[in-house]
Amino acid sequence: MNQREEILSSMPVGRALYKLAIPSIAAMLINMIYSMTDTFFIGKLNDTTALAAIMVVMPILMILGAIGAIFGTGGAVIISMALGKKDYENVSKTFITTIVSSGLIAIVFSLLTSLFPANLLRTFGASELVMTYALQYARIIFIGNFFTIMNNVLNSLIRSEGATNISTIGMVIGALVNIVLDPLFIFYFDMGISGAALATTLGALVSAAYYINFYMRGKSVLSIDLKSYKYKLNKLKHIITLGVPSAMLSILMSLSFSLFNILGAKYGDTFIASMGLSTRVVALAIMILIGLSNGYQPLAGYAYGAGNFERLKKATLYTLITSVIISTASYLVFTNWGEKVLSLFSNVPETIIESVIILKAVSTFLPLMGVIITAITLFTALGKAKESMIIALTRQVIVLIPAMFILPLFFDKYGLIYAQPLSDLVSFIVCLILMFKQTKSLGSSNQTHKIAS
């Protein structure tokens, strides 16, 4: 048993969770800084239209990231549980299937988005005023879609074996490339918004190269034996089934954000830019919570695969307590010092004033998000796709979309703003019910482990 498996199998739960989670949290924050670097430097141009253009492209990038998460999360769940059962053959087959399938899908999406950028941007709410800037940014970003998708996949697979340090280093390298090149391309070479897109794409390319090098040097417990492997559709189906619920949350968030752009267009570009800015600030807290859950996922999956339900329960409790503390602290920061945080990303007074109001609104039930994200991760780690899907659909479709249409009829643009907090509250209640049922069933004599078999 190597050191990484010892962390998953025998290290005290609290210590193991934080050993896995801290690098993951750091990685997610770095990734968030990476994604917000463009917003920061474009915001310094004092051009609201350019800032709004990035916000229009953002949901498309979220969908592309979610596509990577379908394969990365699905493959990682199977690998973690298979490692717990010492089923190394299944580990190898799952790894290869995930890499080959996601690589092909990444190529297809890179081609499709690059061929029809204007149509895609209109679908996601780009006005004619914003379109010129959005096309400049999107054309370069879409060419690099392959690296965006593969980064998510490789990152998840590396974390599934407990190699969180490697995952973090890869993200740090990509972020540093982006941070250094952004001001250079935008201001020194006077490339504007196109320079921001090029810096982001090059950062993703460098990260992907680092992850590939990790596998090529034989440092992973996951082996690549393409000669003896035969591609099987049932293995791919299994990976997608487990990956879709987790990715669905990101996809639905992206679609709802696009719907917001469309419904909010009548309130002007300043409103769209302010909502996008506030959403990205809140996403800082969400990324920390996701980083924590990323550390929890391999620990939970391994324990479940090994039949160690007591360890699984302890890991879940530690994660819930920590996530509630983080989300509550974030809520206090955003509601008390929101203006200072927002001013880091924009110098436009009208945008800051609007953003402060929106930030306080969308943060209303932020303390509940820790429970929601932990619940989704728990059910994903256990291979329970249905429960994860129920939570995702409740938050982003069943409650949110109707609320986005109904609330503005009574509260104008503020109804649109408060639609998300309302869906967060309902989702939290659903999570409590599902998690209570699950914790009661853990450890029963009839528990079986079909997922890793």
452 occurs within a structural domain: no
The lowest-confidence range among 55-59, 361-365, 441-445 is 441-445
In this predicted model, what pLDDT tens digit does every residue of 379-425 receive, in sequence order?
A: 888 878 788 888 888 887 899 989 999 999 999 888 998 998 999 99
Per residue in 65-99, pLDDT (tens digit) is 778 888 988 888 888 888 888 888 888 888 888 98
Confidence of residue 290 (pLDDT cuts 50, 70, 90): confident
Burial 9-28 (b: 16+ CB within 10 A, else e): bebebeebbebbbbbbbbbb
Check residue 231 and give its pLDDT: 67
Q: Does 4 map to a domain?
A: no
Confidence bin at 228 (pLDDT 50/70/90): low
The sign of the dihedral angle between the CA atoms of 204, 210, 216, 219 is: negative
Residues 6+ apart with CB under 8 A from 369: 285, 286, 289, 323, 327, 424
Output the furthest CA–CA distance in the chain (Å, rounded).
66
- Is residue 284 in some structural domain? yes
Residue 8 lies in a domain: no
**Mean pLDDT, residues 2-26:** 81
| Mean pLDDT value across the chain | 83
pLDDT of residue 244: 80
What is the C-alpha radius of gyration for the chain, rounded to an integer number of angstroms? 21
Give 164's Cβ-side CA count (13 Å radius): 27
Any idea what the Cα angle at residue 255 is, between residues 293 and 29, rounded to 5°?
35
3-state secondary structure the chain: CCHHHHHHHCCCHHHHHHHHHHHHHHHHHHHHHHHHHHHHHHHCCCCHHHHHHHHHHHHHHHHHHHHHHHHHHHHHHHHHHHHHCCCHHHHHHHHHHHHHHHHHHHHHHHHHHHHCHHHHHHHCCCCHHHHHHHHHHHHHHHHCHHHHHHHHHHHHHHHHCCCHHHHHHHHHHHHHHHHHHHHHHHHHCCCCHHHHHHHHHHHHHHHHHHHHHHHHCCCCCCCCCCCCCCCCHHHHHHHHHHHHHHHHHHHHHHHHHHHHHHHHHHHCHHHHHHHHHHHHHHHHHHHHHHHHHHHHHHHHHHHHHHCCHHHHHHHHHHHHHHHHHHHHHHHHHHHHHHHHHHCCCCCCHHHHHHHHHHHHHHCCCHHHHHHHHHHHHHHHHCCCHHHHHHHHHHHHHHCHHHHHHHHHHHHCHHHHHCHHHHHHHHHHHHHHHHHHHHHHHCCCCCCCCCCCC
How far apart (Å, rounded) are the C-alpha atoms in residues 268 and 339?
A: 21
**If you average pLDDT over residues 21-25, what whole number do you get?**
81
The pair of three-digit structure tokens given for residue 231, joined into one six-digit string:
């591609």
Residue 97 falls inside a structural domain: yes
The predicted model scores a pTM of 0.72
Per-residue confidence (pLDDT) for residue 426, from 0 to 100: 94
Range of the domain at 130: 13-219+231-441
* Confidence (pLDDT) at 402: 92
For residue 326, what pLDDT is reported? 92
Ranges 28-37, 298-307, 360-369, 389-398: which has the least confidence = 28-37
Quote the percentage of the chain above a pLDDT of 70. 92
How large is the average pLDDT for residues 267-296?
A: 84
Q: Of 87, 105, 107, nearest to 222 (Cα)?
A: 87
Is residue 225 situated within a structural domain?
Answer: no
Q: Which of 326, 352, 204 is nearest to 274 (CA)?
A: 352
| Per-residue confidence band for 206, with pLDDT thresholds at 50, 70 and 90 | very high
Query: Quick one: how far is CA 16 from the chain centroid?
Result: 22
How many domains does the structure of the chain reveal?
1
308 contacts: CB under 8 Å, gap ≥ 6: 84
Residue 447 predicted with pLDDT over 60: no
Is 448 within a domain? Answer: no
Q: Is residue 72 part of a domain?
A: yes
